[in-house]
Amino acid sequence: MEKPPIEKPRSEKITGAGAHARRDPVLLLQNIPFAGFLGVRLELAGDELTGHLPFSPHLIGNPMLPALHGGVIGAFMEITAMAQLGWHANFEHMPKPIDVTVQYLRSGKPVDTYARAVVNRVGRTVANVEVSAWQESRHHPIATLQAHFLTG
């Protein structure tokens, strides 16, 4: 007797619309595996997302200072931008980055980091998003990001 093939369970791809309908922005991170490696979390206040990057020793780039790796900060802000854009516009697919510019303003200390994104414009095919990342005070950002995403 032949056994039927075993199907692997498929992980559900959650879209911006699906996450928004469930009022659970964390579902957006399932589509971004690197977010799990970094430990990124999303917190919802009203309709605004705040990214939270809990400190972990594997995020250190310069152990002599110590300071967070610049790539970690940039990736965290890009993930926050993608999540906010997906949440804001309820896309069926996660937006893809076209270009990303990061301005590093201060050294990232070995503490928790936060980021908030603002969607400036969503066109037929391109969206413009700005992100600011901070640690102790939102008024003293450690980095900012300006990005364009392909939306259609």
Give one word for 74, left, alpha or beta, with left for phi > 0 and alpha for psi -120 to 50: alpha
pLDDT confidence of residue 87: 85
Contact 65, 59 (CB under 8 A): no
- Number of structural domains found in the chain: 1
Residue 2 counted as domain residue: no
Reported as a single tens digit per residue, the pLDDT across 42-51 is 998 877 899 9
Residue 27 counted as domain residue: yes
Question: Tokens 């610049």, residue?
Answer: 70
Asked whether the predicted pLDDT for residue 122 surpasses 90, the reply is yes
Least confident of 21-25, 49-53, 66-70, 121-125: 21-25
Asked whether the predicted pLDDT for residue 25 surpasses 90, the reply is no
CATH of the domain at 55: 3.10.129.10
The mean pLDDT value of the chain amounts to 86
pLDDT confidence of residue 110: 97
As a whole number, mean pLDDT of residues 34-47 equals 90
Asked whether the predicted pLDDT for residue 143 surpasses 90, the reply is yes
Output the pTM of the full model. Answer: 0.85
Reported as a single tens digit per residue, the pLDDT across 71-99 is 999 999 999 999 999 888 877 778 899 99
Which of 88, 94, 77 lies closest to 20 in space, CA to CA?
88
SS3 62: strand
Residue 110 counted as domain residue: yes
Residue 123 counted as domain residue: yes
Domain containing 33 equals 16-150
Q: How many CA atoms within 13 Å lie on the side-chain side of 103?
A: 9
CA distance to 8, 87, 145, per residue, from 71 (Å): 34, 24, 12
